[in-house]
Amino acid sequence: MRKQNFQWTEMTMGVCYYPEHWDRSLWREDLRRMKEAGISVVRVAEFAWNKVEPEEGKFTYTFFDEFLDICLEEKMSVIFGTPTATPPAWLTEKYPEVLNCREDGTAYRHGGRRHYNYNSVKYQKMAGRIVEKLASHYGKHPAIVGWQVDNELNCETYEYHSKADTEAFRGFLKEKYGTLDALNEAWGTTFWNQTYTAWEQIYVPRPVLNDGYNPHMYLDYDRFISESTIRFCRMQAEIIRKYKKTGDFITTNGMFWNIDNHKMAEECLDIYTYDSYPSFAFGLDRDPKNARDLNDRHVSKNLTEVRSICPHFGIMEQQSGANGWVTRMAGPAPRPGQMRLWAMQSVAHGADYISFFRWRTCTFGTEIYWHGILDYDNRDNRKLLEVKEFYRDFKKLDGLCGAEYAASFGVLKDFDNVWDTNIDEIHRIVNGTSEEEIFKVSQLTHTPYNLVYLREESTLEDLVSYPVLFYPHPVIMTEKRAELLKEYVIQGGTLVIGCRSGYKQENGKCVMMPQPGLLRVLTGSDVKEFSFTHGMEEPVWADWNGKHMEMPVFNDIMEIAEESCENTKLLASYGNSFYSGKAALIEKKTGKGRTLHLGSTFSRQNMELLLDYLGVKEPFRQLVEAPEGVELAMRRKEGREYLFVLNYQFEPQKIVLKKTMRSVFRETDVCGEVEIPIFGAEVFEVPVTK
Ligand code: GAL
């Protein structure tokens, strides 16, 4: 999001509330109890279509009129959600064409949520009408401060297989390719005799034997889903914008698959929000053997993604109790301290708004085990106390509102490559491994990073603030992107790429060029052969000036490209396997900068060597010594720096502060050894050095 149209000016706490789930007699008391706890915003209405249009074309506003007026009296602000994630039964029954379908064409039926499709003209009209009615009626209500479009676009499913989707897909392709000949060429349909001779022969993906899908078709399908989602969001945002008060924001709560969230945020929203449920990591359905490293701390990876979309984001749903639908996802109750820790995790990564999900656990429906702050019995409890404690500390961070997250290096991504991993298994394995390992090394060595998405409109300005950029596996490379990377390197940047870079063009077809294709001029590397490393006698490694370096998962077996000899250095060579002695890491200087090509995926061990070599490892080492078990993060504003220390461990952790710093929560100066309690979260204000 280049320009975030809305930003909170002070740390703000909210909660998700469903007036339609409770007797009216509870509303006022609920709002008062919320206010007492520090909650000043409620998000409402995002599934309540029937409360406004109980029958087709019959609109009634009394329910939310009454609720909003009470909010106004109680000085509670409101984020109003559009209800399009849950079309009413009367609608889907009368117009079944609005339903989304499974791949085999069977429609999803009323009863769950998100069972509609974006491309049904009927649904666009019905959704547009309810949004228009809501926005025109409530748009000027003084209690409202913001609007949420739909709920979690592309959650539950991110694939669409209805008739309307097929028809719209054909339109999308006609516009993109103009002729069937061009489409056949782009999709390589001569392979397996897939050639299309009429547009009517083309469908959104349908079941094919043994998953033998055409990958080039799939890439376009993912682009099409993203465009359809964004169009649906834009349609609603444009309607709301006509009626909302100046200063009220439009948001949606993400972040799900098959959407270019950056484009959506930029074109439709004023601010982006995220739903954070760290305790998924401890769910009963998680096989401990397959548990992802770092458990609840792993959410920091998602928060890094969110920050790349919108630097000063909000959390629309912050976990406040055990999770679980009646049918799945059962999880444990947050231990004492964990709710506060998880909320601080969001703040450390850039959130200035924390809204807990939900005020009270629902006593009926699929989510009776998705617990809120209050339990069914409605008594004050430990969780409410923890929310109050969080609020007390959160307000001490008011000065940080809008502060930047301090990143040591950047990691580049782009949506062509993100989507290619949906269908290309090799790309998925290679990229998935590196993404996880880069995150892990960043966490464990306390070397924070930002994600930077390369988009159509990206310019050098978006890159230059990072001295080092990793672009782990840009399998798809375009001339435009290669040119931008060149500019970045020439002006003094360091670019690092991994194996399998640059071997596809934008339709996902392989290029008939030596790898890394268009990047070869920057890397000075020439990939002669390549292979997965599994099946090798022993783990593959390379020798980097006497240091042993892991070369896991997949190897580019390289030489220095003939034309590049002059400015190019061989940094490391393979130490074993049939390619022992071949180049494993090559560095080439171009202009004031350099490019490194590592012939494998990134791992904790080789990343540590690289970060060290590039001089960006552990940027806080002058300030603090911290064990791996805590996360360190820093937010900076107007020359002031705040260091977050988050302890996710089930035991206390000791850190050593190397300077006297102000503990923001304890309101004392501290130095030397400090114990961070179990699930503790501390913030220290770093003294300004003149
Ligand atoms: C979120 C969703 C909420 C609620 C919650 C618990 O994904 O936005 O409406 O369903 O999960 O399942």
The pLDDT tens digits of the residues spanning 371-400 come to 999 999 999 999 999 999 999 999 999 999
Q: Which of 16, 113, 152, 273 to mutate to test the pocket of ligand 1 (most atoms within 8 A of CB)?
A: 152
Task: Give yes or no for a contact between 194 and 214, defined as CB atoms under 8 angstroms apart.
Answer: yes
Residue 290: pLDDT band with limits 50, 70, 90: low
> Is 17 touching ligand 1 by the criterion CB < 6 Å?
no
- Tell me, yes or no, whether 477 lies in a domain: yes
User: What value does the mean pLDDT take over residues 337-358?
Assistant: 98
Mean pLDDT over 264-287 rounds to 91
Provide the pLDDT confidence category of residue 482 given band limits of 50, 70 and 90: very high
* 499, 648: one domain: no
Q: Is residue 20 part of a domain?
A: no
Same structural domain, 581 and 645: no
Q: In a mutational test of the pocket of ligand 1, which residue from 151, 153, 299 has the highest number of ligand atoms less than 8 Å from its CB?
A: 151
Q: Are residues 578 and 643 in the same domain?
A: no
CB 155 within 8 A of CB 210: no
Q: 599 and 638 in one domain?
A: no
Query: Are 454 and 473 in a shared domain?
Result: yes
Mutate to test the pocket of ligand 1, among 44, 86, 357 (most ligand atoms within 8 A of CB): 357
Last residue of a domain, one of 614, 646, 666: 614
User: Do residues 530 and 658 both lie within one domain?
Assistant: no
Residue 590 lies in a domain: yes
Neighbours of 615 (CB within 10 A): 11
pLDDT(131) > 70:
yes
Q: Rounded to whole angstroms, what are the CA distances from 182 to 178, 189, 195, 329?
A: 7, 11, 11, 45
Q: Reduced to 3 states, what is the DSSP secondary structure of residue 16?
A: strand
CB atoms within 10 A of CB 246: 4
CA–centroid distance, 602 to ligand 1, in Å, is 34
CA-46 nearest atom, ligand 1: 9
Joined together, the tokens standing for residue 70 give 């009470």
The ligand 1 atom nearest the CA atom of 367: 12
Same domain, 515 and 656: no
650 shares a domain with 537: no
Q: Which of 584, 614, 644 is the last residue of a domain?
A: 614
- Is the Cα torsion angle 338, 344, 348, 354 positive or negative in sign? positive
- Residue 289 in this model has a pLDDT that exceeds 80: no
| Residue 307 CA, ligand 1 centroid: distance in Å | 21
Q: Is the pLDDT of residue 116 over 70?
A: yes
Tell how far the Cα of 86 is from the centroid of ligand 1, in angstroms.
Answer: 13
Local confidence band at 675 (pLDDT 50, 70, 90 cut-offs): very high
562 domain residue, yes or no = yes
Is the pLDDT at 241 greater than 90? The verdict is yes
CA atoms within 13 A on the CB side of 301: 20
How confident is the model over 628-653, as a mean pLDDT?
Answer: 97
**What average pLDDT does range 278-306 have in this prediction?**
83
Q: What is the pLDDT of residue 288?
A: 58
Angle between helices 215-243 and 261-268 (to 10 degrees): 20
C-alpha 151 – ligand 1 centre gap (Å): 8
∠ CA 50-246-250 to the nearest 5 degrees? 50
Mean pLDDT of 172-180: 98
At residue 329 the predicted structure's pLDDT band, cuts being 50, 70 and 90, is confident
Is 367 a pocket residue for ligand 1 (Cβ < 6 Å)?
yes
pTM assigned to the model = 0.97
- Our answer on whether the CB atom of 151 is closer than 6 Å to any ligand 1 atom is yes
* Position 238 in a domain: no
- Of ligand 1's listed atoms, the one at least distance from the Cα of 357 is 5
Q: How far is the CA of 329 from the centre of ligand 1 (A)?
A: 12
pLDDT of residue 1: 74
Residue 155, ligand 1, Cβ within 6 A: yes
Residue 645 placed within a domain? yes
From 603, 611, 601, select the one nearest 556 (Cα to Cα): 601
Ligand 1 centroid to Cα of residue 324, in Å, is 10
690 against 622, higher pLDDT: 622
CB of 471 shorter than 6 A to ligand 1: no
CATH number at residue 456: 3.40.50.880
Average pLDDT over residues 116-128: 98
Domain identity same for 583 and 455: yes
Distance between CA 458 and CA 480 in Å, rounded?
10
In three-state secondary structure terms, 5 is coil
Active-site residue set? 152, 317
Question: Residue 522 has what pLDDT?
Answer: 98
Tokens of 247: 């200063």
Report yes or no: 581 and 599 within 8 Å, Cβ to Cβ: no
Distance 70 CA to ligand 1 centre (A): 25
Question: Computed over its alpha carbons, how large is the radius of gyration of the chain?
Answer: 26
Residues 430 and 512 in one domain: yes
Q: Residue 213: is it exposed, middle or buried by C-beta count within 10 angstroms (0-12/13-18/19+)?
A: middle
Domain range holding 681? 624-686
Q: How confident is the model at residue 566 (pLDDT cuts 50, 70, 90)?
A: confident
Question: pLDDT category, 287, cuts 50, 70, 90?
Answer: low
Q: What mean pLDDT value characterizes the chain?
A: 97
How would residue 283 be classed by pLDDT, with cut points 50, 70 and 90? Answer: confident
> Over the stretch 507-557, which tens digit does the pLDDT of each residue have?
999 999 999 999 999 999 999 999 999 888 899 999 999 999 999 999 999
Confidence at 42, pLDDT banded by 50, 70, 90: very high
Predicted confidence (pLDDT) at residue 286 exceeds the cutoff of 80: no
pLDDT level of residue 292 (50, 70, 90 thresholds): low
- Mean pLDDT for 669-680 is 98
Give the residue, out of 275, 299, 323, 359, with the most ligand 1 atoms within 8 A of its beta carbon, to mutate for a pocket test.
Answer: 275
**DSSP H helical segments within 500-575, as ranges?**
520-523
Is 115 part of a structural domain of the chain? no
Tell me the percentage of the chain whose pLDDT exceeds 90. 95
Rounded mean pLDDT of 282-286?
Answer: 77
Ligand 1 closest atom vs CA 316: 8
| Whether 533 and 630 share a structural domain | no
Distance (Å, whole) CA 643 – CA 448 = 12
What is the average per-residue pLDDT within 458-475? 98
Q: What is the mean pLDDT of residues 489-494?
A: 98
Question: Which of 470, 460, 481, 325 has its CA nearest to residue 407?
Answer: 470
Q: What is the CATH number of the domain that holds 634?
A: 2.60.40.1180
Mean pLDDT of 467-486: 98
Number of domains in the chain: 2
pLDDT, mean of residues 421-425: 96
pLDDT of residue 14 exceeding 70, the answer is yes
pLDDT score of 689 more than 80: no
Q: Are residues 535 and 581 in the same domain?
A: yes
Is 456 among the domain residues?
yes
Per-residue pLDDT at 536: 80
What are the angstrom distances between the C-alpha of 502 and each of 429, 522, 619?
A: 16, 12, 31
123 falls in which pLDDT band (50, 70, 90)? Answer: very high
Other CB atoms within 10 Å distance of the CB of residue 267: 14
pLDDT at 543 (0 to 100): 98
The dihedrals phi and psi of 514, each to the nearest 5 degrees, come to -65, 140
Residues 185-213, mean pLDDT to the nearest whole number: 97
From 583, 614, 645, the end of a domain falls on: 614
Peptide bond into 87 cis (omega under 30): no
pLDDT score recorded for residue 433: 97
Q: For the ranges 6-15, 361-370, 457-466, 527-536, which has the lowest average pLDDT?
A: 527-536
